[in-house]
Amino acid sequence: MNASRELKPKRLTSCQLIKGIETGSEDIEILPNGLAFISSGLKYPGIQSFAPDKRGEILLIDLNEQNPRPVELRISRGFDLASFNPHGMSTYIGDDDSVYLFVVNHPQYTSTVELFKYVEDDNSLVHLKTIKHELLGSVNDIVALSPDSFYATNDHYFTGLSLMFLEMFLGLSWTNVIYYSPKEVREVASGFYSANGINISPDGQYVYVADLMDHNIHVLQKHANFSLTPLKVLQLDTLIDNISVDPYTGDIWVGCHINGFKLFFYDPENLPGSEVLRIQDILSEKPTVSQVYVDDDGSVIQGSSVATVYGKKLLIGTVFHRALSCEL
């Protein structure tokens, strides 16, 4: 858990907290036009929540604005909003430019994947379907492959709270990646300590999986039948959460937890900090890993879970705290 790890602060010169986000920004997905979806309000076993009775929501901000303000997206009738508990997300743009939003949901601490269609005219989400499967037992993150298929990570083998913690402390490498389509559902990668963030290269040939507790990123080669084969592992000295990929450069941006003990055993007198890394040329023998931002003591932003870029803007999201916008 890197319980003794400390870092020196590394700030960017122009950063501001995004007003209106107070209870988490666990994952952020940015469309090519600068509209960004933010999942907020996650309640997760063993993790702090500043609003345990407030339902989760999907927020939208326009990064083309000077001081973007988040707007909650309306969700179509028939969807159970009261138990909405959003986690990882992924977008897919269809051939007709329709925007599909896949959201990992934990109603009553179970796992489902909710498929929405974004309607820009009235800033709403039309709920298309709820996806459940026995192989999708503890879903953390997701990457869309088509309007109805995806890869998803399971971050635990067990689903009961006590067994989940036992699994973590014993270091059991039993978590995996699942391929889902309406025609088939199967495991395509396994042997992770805690499979967390997942994303895909701009050319669609490689899949990246963050192993939170093993402090590394796995690079897997994607095949025509959607099977995955291990290619390499990049070891890092931090707890990697979500993975974002720059669609133009292929650079990988990750939100990281400096000290896992501070994250899982929250103490307002000893706050969890935030770290952002940029990884260039991950397929090369010596990828370039740059530490872009560090808030060592959580005085600005606590528990960073995602970092993603749009032009010269860097957005940093958190599991349960606020969100930060910086100029690079």
What amino acid positions are annotated as catalytic residues? 87
C-alpha pair distances (Å), 168 with each of 14, 173, 190, 192, 225: 38, 9, 16, 11, 32
Using alpha carbons, select from 163, 217, 165 the residue that is nearest to residue 189. Answer: 217
> DSSP alpha helices (H): ranges in the chain?
161-170, 260-264
Which amino acid, one-letter code, is at 102? F
Q: How far is it, in rounded angstroms, from Cα 87 to Cα 77?
A: 21
Structure token digits, residue 227: 């099977």
CB 294 within 8 A of CB 275: yes
Q: Is 158 left (phi over 0), alpha (psi -120 to 50) or beta?
A: beta
